[in-house]
Amino acid sequence: MNFYVLIASLLASSVEFIEALSIVLAAGVVYGFRPALKGVFYGILTLALLVAVLGEGILRVIPLQILQGIVGILLLLFGLKWIRKAILRYAGLKALHNEEEAYEKQISRLKASNKGSFEAQATAYNGVVLEGLEVVVIILTMGSGAHAFGSAIAGAAIGLGLVLLLGISLRAPLAKVPENTLKFVVGVMLTSFGTFWAGQSMGISWPLSDATLLLLIAGYVFISLLSIRMLKKEGVRAS
């Protein structure tokens, strides 16, 4: 079991499934939770099939070193995008994402429709699949790069289970969850993994082996906090 991969996959999947939860709850409130949960089940089944079809067989086609390079670049792009958005939000240059607002909009759209339970099921299915596709990408890239598909899948499964438990107990959008903080943490972890694997693919021998990830994480956090501080100062000057 790769602990680093498990934690990163857990956090990343939680971000996506929290967003999907708002859509599912909206569908359930308007038309009942039975059709909405059916949509969730079919959505999870679709995602599981994607992971099963595209899983470890990819390692038989592409050499591990090349795959680590591809994975590293993908995770760098993905992680840096999340870090950038989180930094802009912390600096007050981008609005924070509001799950409660998204929830209310979804309810209004469903109430205007007359398609009943099918609409609820389709809405829940689409929400789970669209948000979960990013989880599939994370499972495949992180699982391939570290040769740890089991850890990546376990992390995503735990993330899904936690969000489902929260949704069942709260039955309301997880607006109080600091999503921007979660996205920032995940972005830092993905960027650190991307740097680590891209470096390995180029023949870099990291001095502390896997423990180098902790230094990379600390470095990206420091740079991000410095960027937030500088952007806030620039914002004050501009005003």
27 exposed, middle or buried (CB, 10 Å; 0-12, 13-18, 19+)? buried
- For the cut 70, the answer to whether the pLDDT of residue 15 exceeds it is yes
Run of H or E including 141: helix 116-145
- For the cut 70, the answer to whether the pLDDT of residue 107 exceeds it is no
Instruction: Answer yes or no: are the C-beta atoms of 139 and 53 closer than 8 Å.
Output: no
Q: Per the domain annotation, does 178 fall within a domain?
A: yes
Angle at 20 between CA 193 and CA 187, to 5 degrees: 20
What share of the chain in percent tops pLDDT 70? Answer: 77
Mean pLDDT of 3-20: 82
At residue 239, the pLDDT reads: 44
Query: How many whole angstroms separate alpha carbon 114 and alpha carbon 91?
Result: 43
Please report which confidence band the pLDDT of residue 90 belongs to, taking 50, 70 and 90 as the band edges: confident
Query: How many whole angstroms separate alpha carbon 169 and alpha carbon 119?
Result: 24
Tell me which residue range forms the domain holding 179. 3-234
- For the cut 90, the answer to whether the pLDDT of residue 94 exceeds it is no
Cβ-proximal residues to 76 (8 Å cutoff; 6+ apart), any chain: 190, 191, 194, 195, 198
Q: Per the domain annotation, does 239 fall within a domain?
A: no
At residue 52, the pLDDT reads: 77
Instruction: Answer yes or no: are the C-beta atoms of 24 and 170 closer than 8 Å.
Output: no
Model pTM greater than 0.95? no
Q: Per the domain annotation, does 82 fall within a domain?
A: yes
| Tokens representing residue 156 in the block | 């995503």
- Between 213 and 53, the more confident residue is 213
Query: How many whole angstroms separate alpha carbon 101 and alpha carbon 62?
Result: 44
At residue 227, the pLDDT reads: 93
Domain count, the chain: 1
Q: Per the domain annotation, does 149 fall within a domain?
A: yes
Query: How many whole angstroms separate alpha carbon 122 and alpha carbon 26?
Result: 12
Cβ-proximal residues to 230 (8 Å cutoff; 6+ apart), any chain: none
Mean pLDDT of 47-63: 69
pLDDT in tens, 195-231: 988 898 888 888 887 788 889 999 999 999 999 999 8
Mean pLDDT of 77-95: 85
Q: Per the domain annotation, does 222 fall within a domain?
A: yes
**SS3 at position 76:** helix
Q: CA quadruple 56, 59, 62, 67: dihedral positive or negative?
A: positive
At residue 218, the pLDDT reads: 95
| Tokens representing residue 39 in the block | 């949509």
